[in-house]
Chain A
Amino acid sequence: MLIVNEISKNFDQFKAIDNLSFQVKVGDVMGFLGPNGAGKTTSMRIITGYLKSNSGSVLINNKNIDQDPIYTKSMIGYLPEGVPLYLDFSPYLYLDYVCQVRNIKNSKGAIKKVIDDLALNEVKDVPIETLSKGFKRRVGIAQALIHSPKLLILDEPTDGLDPLQKFEVRKLIKKLSKTKAIIISTHILDEVPEVCNKCLIINNGQKIFEGTPAQLKRKMGKTLDEKFRKLVS
């Protein structure tokens, strides 16, 4: 589904991404790990077409994101870092707008489905501005899911949620993973074995580990946190 091929990205002198390659298939949930500033968000921004890489290529469903941007963008559901949303809109109005710009035929049904999936019914008509952090994040996930994309990219989807909400979102991700390729960036390591079947760790823009969560654990024989600290230090 997604093939990232030796991408690099520089901001002036600073190398944000350095020759990064990986693949994600339908059915995969890839945990994307790394310390702050490692290049996780930049990588996701390149895949979604928000930023352009300096070199390398990204293929989504065998189409290059530079040659077929409209097609590849239509395949992606994206929750950006920090969950940007139009604060004056209500979740319903906002999701309705997303349906219109994405040309979703049965918009009422699509909205109802994500509102049910993410338990947004009680807040669907109040301005997003007044919602709690957890609700805002769920609205962000809802807009990423509404067009049932094949590739789902979630930048810290469970950040700011309470334990119950975290559990619900993880359950949803697991359910979705059957028909989609999913990338979630996180710095909560406990999340990785719970929802992911693949794991990619980067530091300073370079790949330092790729494998299954079990491999990661075995290789270390320690807890994930210790392993993580050791890898990135």
Chain B
Amino acid sequence: MLALIKREMKLYFITPVAYIFTAIFILTSMSLTFYFGSFFSSGVAELNIFFSFIPWVFIFFISAVTMKSWSEEKRLGTIELLLTLPIPVWKIVLSKFIATWAFVTFSIILTFPIWITVNYLGNPDNLIIIGQYLGVIIMAGAYVSLGIFFSSLTNNQIIAFILSILVSFLFTISGFPLMINFITGIMPVEIVELISSFSFLTHFSSIQTGFFSLKGLFFFISFIALWNYLTILKFLVRD
């Protein structure tokens, strides 16, 4: 399994694509923070503004990273080599997930200059920031598991990309105030609560305070388990 994970990682780093993705991710998250988030003029030594943009950047960034995960194997036919290896399907699926998650985590860690900046300019609570980073990494796993599932459905990367963006967007926005206000008008309260309880933002905001809420952690871990399970199922019940 370790060999599979290593190969997946190599596939990311052997081509320039991964570096470009990482660079775009860092540039986008930074520029959103500095230009739209008015990071400097806010005058507060914390990274809340930076982290509040992260889920939106993830929708695109992680969908782009995961889109080729399975679809490329299908297009090239290498999936046939992969699935005829003497390795159980769940190990193959989890290797892909772990490698991709690790790559995304690597990109997240590369945003550390903003942490240094905020420490240089003021005295932030670094424990809270570490908590926020961990929360972001766990949330990234949720986006990755979802993206990989959609990649397993098609041999077309673009279709995988669009489906992943669409569904991640729905899961992200379902707890957004604008969305909640909108559905409150047309649906009973119970359903509104149900929908917003599936939102990344709802759970992320609790993690974002820097204190791990068990509920949020549990939500993201079950979410990751569910989508990986669906991907495994997809290959177990294939013709």
Contacts and interface: CB of A to CB of B under 8 A. Distances in A.
Interface of A: 11, 45, 48-52, 69-71, 73-74, 76, 78, 80-82, 84-89, 93, 97, 100-102, 143
Contacts of B4: 101
A17 to B, nearest CB: 12
Contacts of B177: none
Interface in B1-36: 2-4, 6-7, 10-11, 14-15
B166 interface: no
B190 interface: no
A69 B236 CA distance: 12
Contact of A84 (B10, B78, B85): B78
B81 A45 contact: no
Given A86-B11, A88-B11, A100-B6, A70 B86 contact: yes
Nearest to A86: B78
Contact of A50 (B3, B15, B80): B80
A78 B239 contact: no
B235 to A, nearest CB: 10
Given A84-B78, A101-B4, A78 B84 contact: yes
A85 B73 CA distance: 9
Given A52-B239, A100-B6, A88 B15 contact: yes
A93 B10 CA distance: 10
Nearest to B2: A100
Q: Is the interface of B mostly helix, strand, loop or mixed?
A: helix
Interface in B76-103: 76-81, 83-88
A45 B87 contact: no
B77 A88 contact: no
B77 A100 contact: no
24 contacts: A11-B239, A48-B84, A49-B84, A51-B238, A51-B239, A52-B239, A69-B86, A70-B87, A76-B84, A80-B81, A82-B77, A84-B76, A84-B77, A84-B78, A84-B81, A85-B76, A87-B76, A89-B14, A93-B10, A97-B6, A100-B3, A100-B7, A102-B86, A143-B81
Contacts of A71: 86
A201 to B, nearest CB: 24
